[in-house]
């Protein structure tokens, strides 16, 4: 079949200029090009027509040449790009077909990705850029990690909200312990070659943060590490959006892929420094994926901003996008999409977005997944709130002390309250993560001071209380306001929810700010949303810090063991306790005394 890609000086010229196809010549052909290609634009200087040189546009341009003769200077590139589009889509269709058997993925013993998570991973590997919009609780993090087991995607960088950085580190270590990770904590960039191997014991050492003092020593065997040792990159770099601004160029030296977790954080577009940095990083990556259950609402500008970071040029210019998809054109505010369903279908058809719900995947929707999230707490605030705790800890450890019982109760209350206070900022940030996605959150805490601070930090979300301090009438009013849409956050005392019904009709997300010793209380809490009448998968997120009372209480509850249920979406079950109740407070006191000088 003749394609029209023949020589002849009288035919319109198509040439590759940077990342655009530029067509000049016959006005009739140029007019037809503009009418057929939504992303085509005409230059005011020379009347030429410009078209993004993406695989999709190259495929369509090759089709156009079958009807309208073109003289192409870079014909091989045009054909290769068109063939790449066809290859990617045929492979993507096979991946998304029923009964697809993905590649074998090596996870830690006893852990494996679910089939639908392998589908997401393989689709990303196939198409290169993907917006993963799976519903909350379906394990998008595991889908990303599944893809990162492919060495062609590594090293990789994960950009996420600050309170999720530690979470990512822990999940990578648990599911793929053979992969190394490095947390970027500095805003100013340094060399990405951060890992060294101890020549004595073979331990992998993070050169930036684990080697301290003037003499660099292995923290495992204490052997001195020569300064001349050649470092190597990590497999995965982890950093928050707030630290990304100065890092794109340094990360691009070693990284091949980027994952933007909670990618709706890039909705702000070119008005924000984080978006500019993300786009600069994306342009240097071979593979890009954004993850969010609600990556954007019906505002076209938000959709453009998110997708422009993941797939630069895919939607054309912002003006072209708004002309084609939005109700109006405005570069100062985000106009709404003209037809959100059509736009979503277009993204799915182009294999740019993958979104599944639990119902579509045939998963149960009444179970509650448990998620254990390690958060960074305020050590100074914790210390200030525990000035008398050392004396109490010593008293309760003295079995002959006459006030041992009172000391035990007071120490337990003081340490758990201090731990809760130290986590308030992180918990508030976690709550906003979900409310930003349009979710209503049931928030659990125990101490009055923690309640007060959370109410203050989240005041713009109009939180309501349901604790032991309100009358029955006040509690009923709180429930009504939350259920009818007057509030986004329902703050409940850990032991105040027994018998409460109705929250499950508007919320499927619980955040536990303070831990209780008793698993029965935990079950009561999450049972406020995971109960009859719930139509969506439920998720309970436990905010846990690495010091204070949380490490011991966590072991008592067995939360770490149950986190597997959270990530794989298995039914919530009661944990097996690893510490006897009688010894728990003693262990907490001993742990506090040991760490007092280092917290």
For 415-461, write each residue's pLDDT tens digit.
999 999 999 999 999 999 999 999 999 999 999 999 999 999 999 99
Q: How confident is the model at residue 228 (pLDDT cuts 50, 70, 90)?
A: low
Identify which of 34-43, 193-202, 232-241, 520-529 has the greatest average pLDDT.
232-241
Identify which of 333-342, 380-389, 529-538, 584-593 has the greatest average pLDDT.
380-389
Domain shared by 70 and 120, yes or no: no
Q: How confident is the model at residue 339 (pLDDT cuts 50, 70, 90)?
A: confident
- Report if residue 361 sits inside a domain: no
Domain shared by 122 and 266, yes or no: yes
3-state secondary structure of 453: helix
**Which of 46, 66, 86 is the last residue before a domain boundary?**
86
Checking if the pLDDT of 189 tops 80, the result is yes
- The whole-number pLDDT of residue 302 equals 80
Domain shared by 283 and 339, yes or no: yes
- The whole-number pLDDT of residue 571 equals 45
Q: Which of 17, 36, 16, 14 is nearest to 25 (CA)?
A: 14
DSSP assignment letter at 153: G
Domain shared by 325 and 396, yes or no: no
Domain shared by 502 and 461, yes or no: yes
> In the predicted model, what is the mean pLDDT of the chain?
84
More confident site: 308 or 327: 308
Cis peptide before 280 (omega within 30 of 0): no
CA 163 to chain centre: 10
Checking if the pLDDT of 330 tops 90, the result is no
Checking if the pLDDT of 205 tops 80, the result is no
Domain shared by 54 and 123, yes or no: no
Dist CA 258 CA 285 (whole Å): 7
177 Cβ neighbours under 8 A, 6+ residues apart: 108
Domain shared by 389 and 495, yes or no: yes
Residue pair 132/289 in contact by the 8 Å Cβ criterion: yes
The 10s digit of each residue's pLDDT in 462-484 is: 999 999 888 878 888 999 999 99
Q: Which of 422, 341, 350, 281 is nearest to 93 (CA)?
A: 350
- Report if residue 200 sits inside a domain: no
Consecutive H or E run containing 133: none
The 10s digit of each residue's pLDDT in 519-574 is: 767 777 888 898 767 888 889 999 999 888 988 888 877 643 443 232 223 344 44
Residue pair 135/97 in contact by the 8 Å Cβ criterion: no
Count of helix runs (H) and strand runs (E) in the chain: 21, 21
Q: What percent of the chain has pLDDT over 90?
A: 38
Domain shared by 270 and 142, yes or no: yes
Strands (E), 285-327: 287-291
Please report, for the domain that includes residue 325, its CATH number.
3.40.50.10810
Checking if the pLDDT of 405 tops 80, the result is no
- Report if residue 198 sits inside a domain: no
Out of 71-80, 187-196, 213-222, 282-291, pick the least confident.
213-222
- Report if residue 2 sits inside a domain: no
- Report if residue 6 sits inside a domain: no
- The whole-number pLDDT of residue 202 equals 73
Residue pair 577/181 in contact by the 8 Å Cβ criterion: no
**Which of 39, 67, 86 is the last residue before a domain boundary?**
86
**Which of 320, 354, 388 is the last residue before a domain boundary?**
354
Domain extent for 519: 368-595
| Residue 568 CB neighbours (<10 A) | 16
Checking if the pLDDT of 211 tops 60, the result is no
- Report if residue 99 sits inside a domain: no
Domain shared by 310 and 382, yes or no: no
Q: What percent of the chain has pLDDT over 70?
A: 87
Checking if the pLDDT of 352 tops 90, the result is yes
Number of structural domains (the chain) is 3
Residue pair 134/355 in contact by the 8 Å Cβ criterion: yes
DSSP assignment letter at 118: H
Domain shared by 316 and 348, yes or no: yes
Q: How confident is the model at residue 577 (pLDDT cuts 50, 70, 90)?
A: very low
| Mean pLDDT, range 388-405, rounded to an integer | 72
- The whole-number pLDDT of residue 569 equals 31
- The whole-number pLDDT of residue 283 equals 87
- The whole-number pLDDT of residue 154 equals 94
- Report if residue 398 sits inside a domain: yes
Dist CA 367 CA 66 (whole Å): 55
Q: Are strands 181-183 and 441-445 parallel, antiparallel or unpaired?
A: unpaired
Please report, for the domain that includes residue 566, its CATH number.
3.40.50.300
Dist CA 469 CA 70 (whole Å): 78
Domain shared by 162 and 311, yes or no: yes
| Mean pLDDT, range 150-177, rounded to an integer | 91
Domain shared by 292 and 148, yes or no: yes
- The whole-number pLDDT of residue 561 equals 40
Dist CA 87 CA 58 (whole Å): 13
Dist CA 339 CA 326 (whole Å): 8
- Report if residue 260 sits inside a domain: yes
Checking if the pLDDT of 19 tops 90, the result is no
Dist CA 448 CA 40 (whole Å): 61
């Amino acid at each position: 079949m003749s394609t029209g890609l023949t020589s002849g000086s009288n035919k319109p010229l198509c040439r590759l200029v940077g990342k655009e196809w530029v067509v000049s010549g016959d006005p009739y052909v140029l007019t037809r090009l503009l009418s057929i290609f939504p992303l085509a634009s005409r230059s005011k200087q020379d009347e030429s027509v410009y078209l993004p040189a993406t695989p999709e546009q190259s495929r369509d341009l090759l089709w156009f040449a079958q009807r309208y003769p073109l003289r192409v200077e870079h014909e091989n590139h045009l054909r290769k790009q068109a063939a790449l589009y066809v290859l990617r889509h045929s492979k993507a269709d096979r991946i998304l077909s029923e009964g697809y058997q993905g590649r074998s993925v090596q996870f830690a013993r006893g852990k494996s990705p679910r089939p639908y998570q392998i589908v997401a991973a393989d689709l990303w590997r196939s198409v290169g850029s993907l917006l993963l919009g799976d519903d909350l609780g379906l394990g998008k993090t595991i889908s990303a990690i599944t893809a990162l087991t492919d060495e062609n995607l590594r090293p990789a960088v994960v950009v996420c909200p600050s309170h999720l950085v530690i979470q990512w580190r822990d999940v990578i270590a648990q599911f793929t312990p053979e992969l190394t990770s490095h947390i970027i904590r500095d805003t100013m960039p340094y060399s990405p070659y951060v890992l060294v191997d101890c020549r004595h014991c073979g331990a992998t050492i993070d050169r930036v943060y684990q080697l301290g003092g003037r003499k660099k020593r292995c923290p495992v065997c204490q052997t001195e590490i020569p300064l001349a040792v050649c470092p190597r990159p990590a497999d995965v770099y982890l950093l928050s959006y707030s630290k990304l601004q100065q890092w794109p160029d340094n990360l691009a030296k070693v990284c091949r892929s980027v994952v933007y977790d909670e990618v709706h954080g890039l909705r702000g577009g070119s008005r924000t420094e984080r978006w500019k940095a993300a786009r600069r990083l994306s342009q240097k990556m071979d593979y890009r994926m954004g993850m969010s259950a609600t990556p954007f609402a019906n505002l076209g500008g938000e959709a453009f901003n998110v997708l422009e970071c993941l797939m630069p040029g895919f939607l054309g210019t912002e003006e072209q996008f708004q002309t084609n998809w939005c109700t109006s054109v405005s570069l100062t505010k985000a106009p709404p999409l003209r037809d959100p369903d059509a736009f979503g279908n277009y993204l799915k058809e182009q294999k740019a977005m993958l979104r599944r719900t639990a119902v579509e995947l045939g998963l149960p929707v009444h179970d509650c997944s448990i998620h254990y999230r390690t958060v960074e707490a305020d050590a100074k605030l914790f210390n200030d709130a525990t000035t008398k705790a050392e004396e109490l800890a010593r008293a309760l450890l003295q079995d002959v002390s006459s006030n041992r019982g009172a000391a035990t109760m007071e120490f337990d209350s003081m340490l758990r309250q201090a731990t809760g206070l130290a986590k308030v900022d992180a918990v508030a940030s976690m709550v906003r993560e979900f409310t930003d996605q349009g979710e209503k959150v049931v928030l659990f805490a125990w101490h009055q001071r923690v309640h007060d601070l959370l109410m203050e930090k989240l005041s713009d979300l109009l939180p309501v209380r349901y604790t032991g301090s309100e009358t029955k009438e006040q509690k009923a009013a709180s429930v009504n306001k939350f259920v009818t849409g007057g509030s986004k956050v329902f703050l409940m005392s850990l032991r105040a929810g027994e018998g409460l019904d109705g929250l499950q009709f508007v919320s499927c997300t619980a955040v536990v700010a303070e831990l209780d010793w008793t698993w029965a209380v935990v079950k009561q809490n999450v049972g406020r949303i995971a109960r009859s009448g719930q139509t969506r998968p439920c998720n309970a997120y436990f905010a846990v810090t690495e010091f204070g009372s949380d490490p011991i209480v966590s072991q008592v509850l067995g939360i770490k063991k149950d986190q597997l249920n959270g990530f794989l979406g298995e039914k919530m079950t009661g944990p097996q306790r690893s510490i006897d109740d009688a010894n728990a407070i003693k262990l907490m006191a001993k742990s506090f005394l040991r760490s007092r000088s280092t917290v």
